[in-house]
Structure 1
């Protein structure tokens, strides 16, 4: 459910798109919470990892889901060796350690669970732990960060106004073509011509208007295709496996994506020469 990451020895690769770095660092220095809004696979998680490195803060990541309870975040009593022992949850650990706590896709969690964030997200910067009868003040350096995809969640799964108004918002989108090409070439270790070809395919898929696509082609799936190419798969096979397959289960839409791949992706090795 949660991942604790100490400060990485090397900075995670992230290419800024606008002023998101400046906004995030200013918010953290001021003790403000941050909400990252943007489509799946556009780099929100990598951005948080890079910011944790820059700020020299450990990172605690929680992948939110609809079974996530307050106890999962805050902690619970467990029976160990015949004795009852309190065990901190990831949110409590981050509060105590002054870490960055990143709740990925926060609206997937139940709203009664996310209410626990309110006293942390505003000027109080406190975490009440009812089971212990204590209230923790966030250690210096603590920063609460949440993310979600406004275009994916339904009206029933949205961030409460009372939660979002406690946070500084940073909007994310897919990078400009030249930036995305640079990301693909670096992350997938492929040449820039091949990366540019995948970016053009991704842009074409993002322009499609069809109900059969679960999501548009993200930077993440383009990188996956590039990595398969780096492993020796033909570019078209790589694109079918990493892009067309994950985006839809609709056979008609799949055929359309395969036709687009054949039109935009060249299997000839001349691109690599």
Structure 2
């Protein structure tokens, strides 16, 4: 990681140092590091864009490490991060907050509990919006003012105007073509700088498995790297779903393989997550070819 940071321009490094000082005394949780990019430019460009006050949209297949990248950025900036997990049920309350009744003795008061958007804006934190294209199209326009030069939002629950403070920044993630997603409209997409986050492979994946899984057997790790390569190739050809090629699922499988056979680990960690019988058979055939 230090080698990547040394590739940054000096003025960007200065910005990172200033932000770390700004949040040094906060008790808010900072994201955990650990993202290893397939290409250093992925991490470098994300850091530069956020340092310049741009919104960043991470685009890549499921399990490619977009959330881990966002957490690593939070760690590098030393900046706490508020998170939103989008779904079709996400509404204004899920974004902005909600009202609740507070009892103080015999008196009742109505309090407003701020949601992740309001908290991040008020505190100058990062805001991470996961699977933004899973949200209903009618929900997302609430964020238009947050994502453009105004950096503000009108809170319909309190009537106040919330203006972003400090180094507030937005990172969103998108899985294109995934079941349940809808295309982002151009007005929303134009508010982001887009970073492609592909699956990590080969030596980079080997390093990730060595560092982030319980598995320490070098020969088995090499076999899992080969398995991942074949699964990614099949996913790119549309033969199996991206779920089967998830790096997150692969790490889970490696952890299991410390205690059970690799084929059983693959069954539990990858195959049983799939719904289609043809896909299950395809993954099983690949696994049996590699692990025997």
- 5+ residue gaps in structure 1? 267-273
Query: For residues 122 and 201 of structure 1, what CA distance do their matches in structure 2 show?
Result: 43
For 2:243, what is the secondary structure of its paired residue? Answer: coil
- 5+ residue gaps in structure 2? 1-26
Identify the residue that residue 35 of structure 1 maps to in structure 2: 57
Identify the residue that residue 262 of structure 2 maps to in structure 1: 235
Shift of 1:136: 1.7
Asked if the contact 1:102–1:146 (Cα under 8 Å) also holds between the matched residues in 2, the reply is: yes
Query: For residues 90 and 28 of structure 2, what CA distance do their matches in structure 1 show?
Result: 21
Within the candidate set 67, 75, 82, 1:60 is matched to 82
For 2:172, what is the secondary structure of its paired residue? Answer: strand
Query: For residues 237 and 258 of structure 1, what CA distance do their matches in structure 2 show?
Result: 10
Asked if the contact 1:188–1:224 (Cα under 8 Å) also holds between the matched residues in 2, the reply is: yes
**Is structure 2 residue 30 aligned with structure 1 residue 7?**
yes
For 1:80, what is the secondary structure of its paired residue? Answer: strand
Deviates more, 1:34-43 or 1:136-145: 136-145
Shift of 1:153: 4.9
**Is structure 2 residue 187 aligned with structure 1 residue 162?**
yes
Deviates more, 1:190-199 or 1:115-124: 190-199
Shift of 1:176: 2.9
Shift of 1:48: 0.5
Asked if the contact 1:102–1:145 (Cα under 8 Å) also holds between the matched residues in 2, the reply is: yes
Query: Which whole-Å deviations, capped at 9, do the CAs of 1:5-31 have from their partners, x for residues lacking one?
Result: 6125xx521112221222222222222
Query: For residues 252 and 22 of structure 1, what CA distance do their matches in structure 2 show?
Result: 40
Identify the residue that residue 20 of structure 2 maps to in structure 1: none
Shift of 1:57: 0.5
**Is structure 2 residue 279 aligned with structure 1 residue 253?**
yes
Asked if the contact 1:128–1:134 (Cα under 8 Å) also holds between the matched residues in 2, the reply is: yes
Identify the residue that residue 127 of structure 2 maps to in structure 1: 101
- Pick closer, same or farther for the CA change 1:30–1:153 going to 2, 3 Å: farther
Asked if the contact 1:41–1:218 (Cα under 8 Å) also holds between the matched residues in 2, the reply is: yes
Asked if the contact 1:61–1:102 (Cα under 8 Å) also holds between the matched residues in 2, the reply is: yes
Asked if the contact 1:60–1:100 (Cα under 8 Å) also holds between the matched residues in 2, the reply is: yes
**Is structure 2 residue 72 aligned with structure 1 residue 50?**
yes
Identify the residue that residue 222 of structure 1 maps to in structure 2: 250
Asked if the contact 1:201–1:265 (Cα under 8 Å) also holds between the matched residues in 2, the reply is: no
- Pick closer, same or farther for the CA change 1:135–1:53 going to 2, 3 Å: same
Normalised by the length of structure 1, the TM-score is 0.88
Identify the residue that residue 199 of structure 2 maps to in structure 1: 174
Asked if the contact 1:199–1:222 (Cα under 8 Å) also holds between the matched residues in 2, the reply is: no
Within the candidate set 86, 89, 93, 1:71 is matched to 93
Deviates more, 1:125-134 or 1:163-172: 125-134
Query: Which whole-Å deviations, capped at 9, do the CAs of 1:109-147 have from their partners, x for residues lacking one?
Result: 112211111111111111221332222221111111111
Asked if the contact 2:201–2:229 (Cα under 8 Å) also holds between the matched residues in 1, the reply is: no
Normalised by the length of structure 2, the TM-score is 0.82
Deviates more, 1:255-264 or 1:29-38: 255-264
